[in-house]
Amino acid sequence: MNLADLRARLDAVDRTSLASRPTPLLRMPRLQAALGPEIPELWVKLDEQTGFGLGGNKVRKLDRELAPSRLQGVTHLVTTGGPQSNHCRVTAAAAARLGLGCVLVINGAAPDPPTGNALLHRTFGARIHQVADRAAREPALQQVSAEIEAAGGRALVLPLGASTALGAIGFVEALVELHDQMGAAPDRSIHLFVSSSSGGTLAGLWAGLALLDRPDIDITAVSADTPAPQLRATAERLAAGALERLQFDAAQLAAVAHRIDVRDDQIGTGYGQPTEASEEAAELLATSEGVLVEPFYTAKAAAGMITAVRDGQFPAGDRVIFWHTGGHPALFR
């Protein structure tokens, strides 16, 4: 792949620049020492530091989803998630920045008084439309959108997690960013570990892998709640859409499919619920590197990485990178 051509195509996709880029890539030598001798180099990609609205991976997606060309005539942003949704937090912050109204369709009750992201949803000025469960979200999105239009407004409805083909382009760009930071290392394999649920982040990384000449990189997505086959299928569909939007052949995904591993062995009892392994991972990252992760979502990917390292899945000369997708407010839920 001609990297200059890829950069040009990424730059040609309209955006609202919310994310601070590039985010830091740092060694984790003390975590490496804590896990024992003769293990790979451990690194962290701090996408918690995308900056806007307390950061995280959703900001990269919203850069494209909220491009000026998509906001013409829009008066409200409408989206959905759980009471502690990072995506809802950043969407509410973006609406405030852009001078738009915001309605969040939230399944499940927030703490009373609200804490963590539930507090921030309200702090950013969003109106909360509460529904009983996940099944009720889509009808409620359509209802809220219709009410806004009946009142003379226009709603832009953002899917769960901003996980769309357009949003995934933000993570094609993110993998190019990592490529620039790591440099070429053909004799040292690089293993990325990333949290995944709605599939958009994984989709962008998968599409980026298909476009970059980096046979040394593979990706492990650790599911927070979705069964692995379903998550993989969703990510592949979104990745294909991202490639098509960039005017590349989606068939290129198949050539790197063997380097995409989707695991669901860290889910535990479900979304938003910690596990013993995720709590240990959160503690290890905090005490060895001063890196904070909440134990409900992001730390499940860290737990997957730690398990793989302890099991000796990678030789000592390799590099293992934990892609930190953010979510700090959940520490205060």
Domain of 180, in residue numbers: 3-57+163-332
| Domains: count for the chain | 2
- Quick one: 178 and 144 in the same domain? no
CATH code of residue 93: 3.40.50.1100
- Tens of pLDDT, residue by residue over 133-142, are 999 999 999 9
Q: Do the domain assignments include residue 128?
A: yes
Task: Give catalytic residue positions.
Answer: 85
- Tens of pLDDT, residue by residue over 268-326, are 998 889 999 999 999 999 999 999 999 999 999 999 999 999 999 999 989 999 999 99
Reported as type and span, the H/E element at residue 60 is: helix 58-65
- Quick one: 275 and 143 in the same domain? no
Helix (H, G, I), strand (E, B) or coil at 17: coil
Bridge-based pairing of strands 25-27 and 41-46 is: antiparallel
Whole-angstrom Cα distance, residue 51 to residue 270? 28
- Quick one: 9 and 43 in the same domain? yes
Q: At which of 106, 122, 153 does a domain end?
A: 153
pLDDT at 188 over 90: no
Q: What percentage of the chain carries pLDDT values higher than 70?
A: 99
- Quick one: 253 and 113 in the same domain? no
Peptide bond into 274 cis (omega under 30): no
Mean pLDDT over 165-189 rounds to 91
Model confidence band, residue 225 (pLDDT cutoffs 50, 70, 90): very high
Q: Of 225, 214, 222, which is closest to residue 190 (Cα–Cα)?
A: 214
pLDDT confidence of residue 272: 86
Average of per-residue pLDDT values in the chain: 96
Bridge-based pairing of strands 41-46 and 319-324 is: parallel
Whole-angstrom Cα distance, residue 129 to residue 141? 9
Reported as type and span, the H/E element at residue 310 is: helix 298-310
Q: Do the domain assignments include residue 67?
A: no
Neighbouring CB atoms inside 10 A of 112's CB total: 7
Q: At which of 118, 153, 188 does a domain end?
A: 153
- Tens of pLDDT, residue by residue over 50-80, are 999 999 999 999 999 999 999 999 999 999 9
- Quick one: 316 and 201 in the same domain? yes
- Quick one: 316 and 205 in the same domain? yes
Mean pLDDT over 2-31 rounds to 96
Model confidence band, residue 166 (pLDDT cutoffs 50, 70, 90): very high
Q: Token pair of 70, please?
A: 């998509």
